[in-house]
Amino acid sequence: MPNTSSTETGRYLVLLGEDRTGADNKLAQLAQVRILHSAEEPGGLQVLGEQCAVVFDRIGVALLRCGSPARQALQEASQAGDGAILAVEPEREVHACNDEGEALPQGGSWGVEAVGATHSPLTGNGIRVAILDTGLDLEHPDFTDRAVTHMSFIDGETVHDANGHGTHCAGIAAGRSRSQGQARYGVASEAQLYIGKVLSNAGGGADGSVLQGIDWAVANQCHIISLSLGGPVRPGERYSAVFEAVAQRALEAGCLIVAAAGNESRRPEYVAPVAHPANCPSIFAVAAVNQDLAVAAFSNGGLLPDGGEVNLAAPGVDIPSAWPMPQRYRTLSGTSMATPFVAGVAALYAQEDSSLRGNSLGVRLVQSVRLIGQPAADVGAGLVQAPR
């Protein structure tokens, strides 16, 4: 199992083979637990006990608590290569990827202009964008007239966003093109929002809630999933085999996952590697740039050619967007803010060309960037650009 520098929860992720019936039977046999299914138990994480496992059916991953003998048996099965149990990893904690910001933004979003959204005739209409984060303020005036599909995967908390991070990210990806008293701050104003609460109101969560959110988004045929969250990774550490397989399965289902590269100090002697799970090759890792289109001081850099690389950059410094009432708007900085810019632009391309789904959508994003003269390790292919 991978050695991680992030905090482990004591629970485990099990990547299941394509023969789900056989994999379920193998899992139950080795772990000696009752199997619950996300298709039958939407609140699976909330009912996860000591003697059961929750299987996220659409992505083929199980989350369970288990003692050392069961864990060892599962690990041995994955190493035996029988095709039922493909990988076993400890569950990690994750958190929102943003820095503090100012209480009130001044004017519109420079980022919307920088990615070219103000000059695009497209709105994301008909495209399903999942924001997996701290939820959404459903009473916010900029969203009350929108049809928002939502679900909470945090025990004891509704989808209401008492943190603000999720509302801010949803606003960047798909906020209104024009709001009363506030200039435009959103990219794809007519995209269909799917809000999955996978981080608590305190801004923290774990792999299990994120995976269940991905499972839910794929089940709802979302075209894009935005993850402005992550956990620390040590230089040289391999990416999660579970999340990589999940990302590949999502791509096959026509769903592109974009995730924050993470925020660390960029001291000359050390550049933090791309955060988990953005360091997976099949997840598009997004770095942040400032208004001068230079890499942001906090934005992680890519260190490995096989996973751990940055794919794209987007605006991530001093970004205004929605905030829970009564404040209504706020400016924040972080790779958290850059990620929904990419999700919003992806929605515009997906609307423009219905053949752009999954991997082909990601390829188009990379092919359409603006070169900004920054190292590829810091900004990937370049600054994401909207179709015109």
Positions marked active-site: 133, 165, 336
Paired tokens of 89:
């990893």
SS3 (DSSP) at 76? helix
Phi, psi of 87 (to 5 degrees): -160, 150
Q: Which residues of 344-366 are buried (b: 16+ CB within 10 A; e: fewer)?
A: bbbbbbbbbeeebbbebbbebbe
Burial of 219 per CB tally in 10 Å (0-12, 13-18, 19+): middle
Task: Enumerate the β-bridge partners of residue 90.
Answer: 12
Q: What share of the chain is helix, strand, coil (3-state, %, to 5)?
A: 25, 25, 50
- The C-alpha angle with vertex 132 and arms to 128 and 133, in degrees rounded to 5, equals 140
SS3 (DSSP) at 304? coil
Residue 282 CA: distances (Å) to CA of 188, 245, 253, 306, 369: 23, 8, 13, 10, 18
- Quote the distance between the C-alpha of residue 241 and its chain's center: 16
Answer for the pair 286, 339: CB distance below 8 angstroms, yes or no: yes
d(CA 241, CA 188): 32
